[in-house]
């Protein structure tokens, strides 16, 4: 689904859910910018009917009633569209929180933020709420690269793409034809894992090295898409992040869900802190610093020293 259509469906759903009385097509057209730009009445009617059918297919219960003026009206009663109680474990909460943070610099930032607030109100565990107000350090997932959105949509829709890519040791960019599998964020950088058609092999591409536009191609995938876990291991290996050691850290209770999802062992200390064992390669010190006062490294000593040095450098700035 294109971003523009997703925004249009979201606006229509909000209008139908937010009204206390049925709204006519004329009223909906005057309230939603995309409908105002639809052109002729026939174009608007076709677009509205498709959008209404799409929302119903997504599960929204839309009622059709006759209003006082004799026109057909539409509304979506909240009691008919209420979700069941939400129960999430730590890993699920971390996934939803990170998914919302992905959009903090993208076009759906407002929608993602609102959805996250509603989930928290429904009881979703919060990773850093108790302390993030007092700390300038917070885990972030930047989305600066222009290639992010088109590649995300291509991964979801299983559409091959072409783009110009400049390798780290190359002065010029080369065109690549790729069947995109998934996007992974690793140590503040986004990577695309997929099948390189010309080389006939699995490849990983750093988004910051993609130049120009990402262009979609017609046709189906020619290679089998592997399991997501296998893809993540490929990204870690390619980025030089294969775990070779184990760290023991103290983590404040109720904080740091991304760290908890990586831990091989978690023990409650009973003093408001938990003890975690995390396998790691290089770069863990930079990640731990992002959690600020919620993390204390117990061992190894060299990792603890690296984290302390980074915190001191942040304090000087």
* DSSP notation for the chain: --HHHHHHHHHHHHHHHH-SS-EEHHHHHHH-HHHHTS-SHHHHHHHHHHHHHHHHHTT---EEEE-TTS-EEEE--GGGSPPPPP---HHHHHHHHHHHHHGGGSTTHHHHHHHHHHHHHTT---SSHHHHTT-S---------TTHHHHHHHHHHT--EEEEE--TT-SS-EEEEEEEEEEEEETTEEEEEEEETTTTEEEEEEGGGEEEEEEE--S--SSPPPPHHHHHHHHHHHTT----EEEEEEEETT--HHHHHH-SEEEE-SSSEEEEEEEE-TTHHHHHHTTGGGEEEEE-HHHHHHHHHHHHHHHH-
pLDDT band of residue 290 (cuts 50, 70, 90) is: confident
The number of folded domains in the chain is 4
Do 223 and 255 fall into the same domain?
A: no
CA–CA distance from 163 to each of 9, 177, 202, 207, 217 (Å)?
A: 30, 7, 16, 10, 11
Query: Among the listed ranges 15-29, 87-101, 192-206, which one has the minimum average pLDDT value?
Result: 87-101
Q: Is residue 263 part of a domain?
A: yes
Do 178 and 217 fall into the same domain?
A: yes
Do 226 and 260 fall into the same domain?
A: no
Q: Is residue 69 part of a domain?
A: yes
Decide: 66 and 25 in contact? Cβ < 8 Å. Answer: no
- Please state, in angstroms and rounded to a whole number, the distance separating the CA atoms of residues 198 and 111: 39
- Please state, in angstroms and rounded to a whole number, the distance separating the CA atoms of residues 195 and 27: 48
Q: Is residue 136 part of a domain?
A: no
Both structure tokens of 110: 């407002």
Instruction: For residue 247, count other CB atoms closer than 10 A to its CB.
Output: 21
- Residue 215 pLDDT: 94
Instruction: For residue 267, count other CB atoms closer than 10 A to its CB.
Output: 12
Final residue before a domain boundary, out of 237, 257, 291: 237
pLDDT, tens digit, 9 for 90 and up, residues 28-71: 888 888 888 887 888 889 899 989 988 888 888 899 888 657 78
Q: Is residue 117 part of a domain?
A: yes
Does 104 score more than 60 pLDDT? Answer: no
Q: Is residue 100 part of a domain?
A: yes
Do 159 and 230 fall into the same domain?
A: yes
The CA R_g of the chain, rounded to the nearest whole Å, is 24
Do 231 and 152 fall into the same domain?
A: yes
Mean pLDDT over all residues of the chain? 78
Q: Is residue 138 part of a domain?
A: no
Does 251 score more than 90 pLDDT? Answer: yes
Q: CATH code at 26?
A: 1.10.10.10
pLDDT band of residue 133 (cuts 50, 70, 90) is: very low
Do 109 and 75 fall into the same domain?
A: no
Angle, CA of 35, 41 and 43, to the nearest 5°? 65
- Residue 166 pLDDT: 86
Do 253 and 232 fall into the same domain?
A: no
Do 189 and 268 fall into the same domain?
A: no
Q: Is residue 140 part of a domain?
A: no
Q: Is residue 47 part of a domain?
A: yes
Do 114 and 154 fall into the same domain?
A: no
Full-model pTM:
0.42
Final residue before a domain boundary, out of 217, 237, 257: 237
Final residue before a domain boundary, out of 188, 214, 237: 237
More confident residue, 7 or 139: 7
Do 177 and 224 fall into the same domain?
A: yes
Do 271 and 304 fall into the same domain?
A: yes
Q: Which domain holds residue 18?
A: 3-80
Do 208 and 164 fall into the same domain?
A: yes
């Amino acid at each position: 689904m294109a971003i523009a259509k997703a925004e249009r469906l979201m606006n229509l759903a909000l209008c139908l859910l937010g009204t206390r009385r049925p709204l006519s097509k004329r009223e909906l057209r005057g309230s939603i910018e995309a409908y105002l730009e639809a052109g002729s009445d026939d174009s608007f009617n076709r677009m509205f009917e498709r959008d209404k059918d799409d929302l119903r297919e997504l599960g929204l219960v839309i009622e059709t009633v006759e209003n006082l003026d004799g026109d057909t009206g539409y509304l979506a009663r909240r009691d008919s569209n209420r979700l069941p109680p939400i129960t999430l474990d730590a890993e699920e909460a971390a996934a939803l929180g990170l998914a919302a943070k992905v959009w903090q610099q993208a076009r759906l930032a407002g929608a993602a933020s609102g959805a996250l607030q509603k989930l928290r109100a429904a009881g979703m565990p919060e990773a850093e709420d108790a302390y993030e107000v007092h700390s300038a350090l917070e885990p972030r997932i930047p989305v600066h690269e222009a290639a992010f959105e088109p590649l995300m949509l291509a991964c979801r829709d299983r559409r091959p793409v072409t783009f110009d890519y400049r390798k780290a040791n190359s002065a010029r960019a080369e065109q690549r034809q790729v069947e995109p599998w998934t996007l992974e964020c690793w140590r503040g950088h986004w990577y695309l894992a997929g099948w390189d058609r010309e080389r006939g092999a699995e490849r990983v591409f750093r988004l910051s090295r993609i130049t120009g536009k990402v262009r979609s191609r017609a046709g189906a995938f020619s290679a089998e898409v592997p399991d997501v876990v296998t893809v993540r291991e490929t990204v870690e290996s390619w980025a030089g992040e294969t775990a070779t050691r184990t760290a023991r850290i103290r983590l404040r209770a109720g904080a740091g869900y991304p760290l908890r999802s990586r831990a091989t062992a978690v023990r409650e200390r009973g003093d408001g802190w938990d003890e975690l064992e995390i396998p790691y390669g290089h770069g863990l010190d930079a990640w731990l610093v992002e959690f600020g006062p919620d993390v204390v490294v117990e061992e190894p000593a060299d990792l603890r020293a690296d984290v302390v040095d980074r915190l001191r450098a942040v304090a000087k700035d």
